Structure 1
Amino acid sequence: MANEACPCPCDIGDKFEYGGLGQEVQIEHIKAYVCKPQSSSDKAIIVIQDIFGWKLPNTRYIVDMLAANGYIAICPDFFVGKEPWNPTDDRATFAEWLKTRPATKTNKEAEVVLKYLKEECNAKKFGIVGFCWGGIATHHLMLKYPELKAGVSVYGIIRDTEDRYNLLNPTLFIFGEKDPIIPLEQVTILEQKLKEHCETKFEVKVYPAQTHGFVHRKREDINAEDKPLIEEARRDMITWLNQYI
């Protein structure tokens, strides 16, 4: 699922057999997975889940990757206890399921997490990364919170309206060329709208031959042809964060 205008559940891809290096914590009304770097840091990244929820090992792998690169990384449950999408669920129910989990109604949870990072982790610099549903949420939050100094929205497109493009800080948008859920025409429209309305730095990058979920739902060790682009996208994500945070 990526486009609010035409929602569609997506394939979970390669589910990682990964336990995680961090820990689960309770932050006010939500739970979260947190991983901290070996050396103390005042830089933090909020990672927003896809439709498969905050416990997906693939997403926790990305959280730990960010921590290994010097960030306090946190993946909160932005569904606030509601069940994530299950690949065995009836696709005919997806639209109704999604209505109860709007990606553009995430401000309250973002504020709780920012407060936690400031008060409990002593973080002073913040960025945000989101995948699929979380990519939409990332785009939304980069329009609302100036303290988020960098954002990376990974295969998530917010609905096409005029007030969705004036990003407050630099944002990288990552897409796959062969994504059946986000056609390239939508990516082109997004880039055109950003050029018209966005006053800060942004980049829209399309990775050749890649499909939806390639950055975090494909295992590079069993997808040899895709491995260089999976790794490139992950490097691009980290480079972008390093540059602006």
Structure 2
Amino acid sequence: MGIDCLSNPPILNASTGVGYVTNIAGVNSYVTGSPLAILAIVLISDVYGFKPPLLRKIADKVANHGYFVVVPDFFHGEPYNKENASRPFDPWLKDHDPAKGIETAKPIIEALKRKGASAVGVAGFCWGARTVTKLGKAKLVQASVLLHPSYITVDDIRGVEVPIAILGAEHDSLSPPKLLKQFKQVLDAKPEIDSYVKIFANVSHGWTVRYDPNDPKAVKAAGKAHKIMINWFDKHLKK
């Protein structure tokens, strides 16, 4: 596991955002946007979970475009906490295997569809990307976005069956540009699946969700990625 994933840890105990926390399919989730919206977006966090204020701000931003947005607590109250010396990262990750995130995601997506969602988009940051690709393989969602993904292989991308956008960083040991270019090659060979791959210059892993809000350049770079994500959902869900 690269050090990239653990750099710039956010505040974990903040209760911010214009939405609220509720239970969906047995999972505490931050929700925002009109409950009457017929299009839903699920945001799957990095290892720091669903509480960081910047993640909730992103959810609020997406909701402003007419979506009901859900940010589930995939770690069931146990996000990674860098300050907890008694719980090193490797054993934590073993208990929170990114390959198993789909087991939490499926019932949430089913619940959203039962509530009237006609289409569901999903975006994953870092840890969350593995779940997004699995959902895309199983055609359980209608559009997907990966932001600085971790634990993703070329085979994972080869199996995706829904529109996918991949936003990567120039400086990223977990998904280096070389790997992202391989993802693009695989997707270009599947023209029936709409795809988009972009490598952002001068940014590092985590730049879309763990940026310094007081740094104008960092805010601008993150904002560009958020805009691409929202445009991707607009293109594939608002038909």
Q: What range describes the TM-score normalised by the shorter chain of this pair?
A: 0.7 to 0.9
The residue matched to 1:182 in structure 2 has which SS? coil
Whole-angstrom CA distance in 2 between matches of 1:203 and 1:98: 29
Aligned to 2:100: 105
One-letter amino acid of the structure 2 residue matched with residue 235 of structure 1? K
One-letter amino acid of the structure 2 residue matched with residue 223 of structure 1? D
The residue matched to 2:165 in structure 1 has which SS? strand
RMSD: 2.5
Whole-angstrom CA distance in 2 between matches of 1:109 and 1:193: 28
Aligned match for 1:156, one of 135, 149, 159: 149
Larger helix share, 1 or 2: 2
State the Cα distance separating 1:236 from its structure 2 match. 0.5
Q: Which runs of 4+ in 1 moved over 6 A?
A: none
Larger RCO, structures 1/2 (Cα 8 Å, 6+ apart): 1
* Residue pair 1:12, 1:52 contacting (<8 A) in 2 also: no
One-letter amino acid of the structure 2 residue matched with residue 111 of structure 1? K
Q: Does 1:94 align with 2:86?
A: no
Q: Provide closer, same or farther for how the CA distance between residues 91 and 152 of structure 1 changes in structure 2, counting only shifts above 3 A.
A: farther
Whole-angstrom CA distance in 1 between matches of 2:233 and 2:79: 27
Aligned to 1:64: 60
Q: Provide closer, same or farther for how the CA distance between residues 44 and 52 of structure 1 changes in structure 2, counting only shifts above 3 A.
A: same
Deviations 1:75-118 (A, max 9, x none): 1111234x111122459932222121122212232221112212
Range with bigger deviation, 6-15 or 177-186: 6-15
Aligned to 2:126: 132
TM value normalised by structure 2: 0.87
Aligned match for 1:208, one of 201, 205, 226: 201
One-letter amino acid of the structure 1 residue matched with residue 155 of structure 2? E
- Paired residues for 1:15-94 under 5 Å: 15=11, 19-37=16-34, 40-81=36-77, 83-90=78-85, 93-94=88-89
One-letter amino acid of the structure 1 residue matched with residue 117 of structure 2? A
* Residue pair 2:29, 2:50 contacting (<8 A) in 1 also: yes
Q: Percent identity?
A: 26
One-letter amino acid of the structure 1 residue matched with residue 220 of structure 2? P
Aligned to 1:166: 159
Deviations 1:19-70 (A, max 9, x none): 11111112243111111238x3200001101100112222111111111111
Q: Which runs of 5+ in 1 are unaligned?
A: 1-5
Range with bigger deviation, 27-36 or 186-195: 186-195
Aligned residues: 235
Q: Provide closer, same or farther for how the CA distance between residues 242 and 202 of structure 1 changes in structure 2, counting only shifts above 3 A.
A: same
Whole-angstrom CA distance in 1 between matches of 2:37 and 2:44: 20
One-letter amino acid of the structure 1 residue matched with residue 125 of structure 2? F
Deviations 1:115-151 (A, max 9, x none): 221233x21111001111012221222112x241111
Range with bigger deviation, 52-61 or 225-234: 225-234
The residue matched to 1:32 in structure 2 has which SS? strand
* Residue pair 1:14, 1:219 contacting (<8 A) in 2 also: no
Aligned match for 1:143, one of 137, 148, 151: 137
Aligned to 1:188: 181
Whole-angstrom CA distance in 1 between matches of 2:26 and 2:47: 20
Q: Which runs of 5+ in 2 are unaligned?
A: none
Whole-angstrom CA distance in 2 between matches of 1:150 and 1:187: 19
The residue matched to 1:208 in structure 2 has which SS? strand
